[in-house]
Amino acid sequence: MSLPRIGVTLPQVSPYAGPEAVVTVAQAAERLGYHAVAASDRLLIPAGPHWNNDAGLPEDHVWESLELLAWAAAHTRRIRVVTGILNTIFQPPVVLARRLATLDRLCQGRLVVGIGQGGGTRLPPFYIPEEFTAAGVPAGRRGAGFVEHTAAMRACWAPDPVEFEGEHYRIPPSKIGPKPWRGSIPLLFGAIARPTIERAARLGDGFITTAVDWDDTRTQVGWYRDAGGTGTVVVNIIPTTPGEPVSPAAFTGAVLAQLDRAVAVGADETHIALHLLPMGAAEQAELIEALAAKLGLPAEGAGDAA
């Protein structure tokens, strides 16, 4: 089996998140030969009486993804740091563009950014209206507003002077920096519906989705390729039932089965959702060590993430 590149998510959900936990998993992933560590965006979890968490989202606080990735990057040397998914329209494009470029410069070009518009019909991303209310952004900003937001961010990464004029966002002629390490940052578009996947093929540097149903995932990847998408296809995999502990042997078996399916649908890269497991960083590191041994991943120093 020709494996896709493999990454793992960082400890991001309380009570298992924290500085030591992030370093433990990030350094283990790098030492064991994984390609990337990832963190996603979740602004809040509703607490109102109407809330029904039928999508199985984390019930506790989710730590901020960019700060987690910066901390992981500071304690590693080669492994890629990836957002999947970052709900970009919750922040002004010039603010987010500078945050991303700063992180990219600090980690010397190891950043890859999966982006989304803060809504979908399934997990993940999962549309939570309360997030738009808290961010002060109308839900109608999705779609064309998301496309414009992405263009404005990319404008900030172009040579100075930067200028952007749009319906929702305007940047007067300005010097804006820092600029990304390699001049730009790869943007992988998260999408579920066919029109948004085709938009990813036109505008993104790749496509990112989550394998909730593998038949659906195969269809989504097909839509992306049929629309002319030639970028990286990342498939997030959830190897076990979220919220349930698992042994190293059971975890390895579950991931191997998912990797077979990822290869079959044409994934270039997979990210394993470790953060959904109710266990500490040492136990998570044990899981990925057992998996790396089974897969024969290259040990630290045997290759580069670029």
pLDDT in tens, 110-121: 999 999 998 644
Asked if residue 88 is part of any domain, the answer here is yes
Asked if residue 260 is part of any domain, the answer here is yes
Asked if residue 156 is part of any domain, the answer here is yes
Q: Distance between CA 39 and CA 65 in Å, rounded?
A: 5
For 39, the domain range is: 5-295
Question: Structurally, how many domains does the chain consist of?
Answer: 1
Q: Model confidence at 129, in pLDDT bands (50, 70, 90)? A: confident
* Model pLDDT for residues 178-192, shown as the tens digit of each residue: 999 999 999 999 999
Asked if residue 251 is part of any domain, the answer here is yes
Comparing CA positions, the residue from 135, 10, 163 lying closest to residue 73 is: 10
Asked if residue 305 is part of any domain, the answer here is no
The tally of CA atoms less than 13 A away on the side-chain side of residue 131 is 21
Q: Distance between CA 129 and CA 133 in Å, rounded?
A: 7
pTM value is 0.93
Find the farthest-apart pair of alpha carbons in the chain and give their distance in angstroms, rounded.
Answer: 57
Q: Domain containing 186 — which CATH number?
A: 3.20.20.30
Residue 63 per-residue DSSP state: -
Asked if residue 300 is part of any domain, the answer here is no
152 vs 94, 135, 278, CA distance in Å? 7, 19, 39
115 vs 9, 90, 180, 213, CA distance in Å? 16, 11, 17, 21
Q: Distance between CA 29 and CA 16 in Å, rounded?
A: 17
